[in-house]
Amino acid sequence: MKIFGVDIGGSGIKGAPVDLDRGELAQERHKVLTPHPATPASVADGVAEVVGHFDWQGPVGITFPGVVTGGITRTAANVDKGWIDTDARALLSDRIGQPVTILNDADAAGVAEMTFGAGRGRKGTVIMLTLGTGIGSAVFTGGQLVPNTELGHLELHGHDAEKRASTKAKEDEDLSWHHWAHRVQKYLVHVEMLFSPELFIIGGGVSRKAEKFLPLIEHVRAEMVPAELQNNAGIVGAAMAAAGK
């Protein structure tokens, strides 16, 4: 079974048809840069370009970097504030001419990892964290998702945690892997204190380079593993949502 998935991020919009029997992309993904400002209309155009690249006809699952309830986007930390309280499902469905399911980006990535990746078979508390333009989170207990947790906005040393420990913070401040890993460690210790997970799954594009920073992180009791689907997890999870999985 193939369904199309799109992952809207702070820096890029990427998508591809997904083979839901295997939990992997059925074709090489297509990516366009996220427009700036990332207004609803301009992002919708980007999504339409990605979907149109494949001449896709049928349901489309789309992730969004913020809180999503009932197809409405409620927050907009790393995109234009015009997204707040926008009926994104209607907007995107009208723009691409296909039925749309929309959900939080980290939730989508987490569902994919729990089904096909690093979280398979884990029934305790599992937290997926996507490190990118911001920090997304997906919390699972007993295999069930607690949606829209937004743990990247926990306060850490007087700042939103994502302002200090995201991949963007590493790049903007030109931090070494060691320095950045120390910041990620402080964040993980803080999250662990609050939720006591048995497993952290670390996702986002930087998960491809997990060997450069995960071994540097200490004082975290939970097991820490990189996302197996790496930066395709959001696309796979979006397609799963569109298929009702």
Tokens for 240, please give them.
């799963």
Please tell me the CATH superfamily of domain 121-227, with its number: ATPase, nucleotide binding domain (3.30.420.40)
Residue 73, classed as helix, strand or coil, is strand
pLDDT digits 0-9 by tens, 199-245: 999 999 899 999 999 999 999 999 999 999 988 999 999 999 999 98
The H-or-E segment that residue 183 falls in is helix 177-195
Q: Domain spanning 2-107+233-242: which CATH class is it, in words?
A: alpha beta
Q: Are 219 and 185 in contact (CB under 8 A)?
A: yes
Domain coordinates in residue numbering, the chain: 2-107+233-242, 121-227
pLDDT for the residue 239: 98
Record the pTM: 0.95
| Mean pLDDT along residues 112-121 | 97
Task: Say what percent of the chain tops pLDDT 70.
Answer: 100
- What is the full DSSP assignment across 57-79? -S-EEEEESS-EETTEE---SSS
Where do we find the tokens 């920073």? 213
Q: Do domains 2-107+233-242 and 121-227 have the same CATH topology?
A: yes
Residue 156 pLDDT exceeds 90 = no
CA distances (Å), 202 to each of 15, 187, 206, 208, in order?
Answer: 21, 12, 9, 10
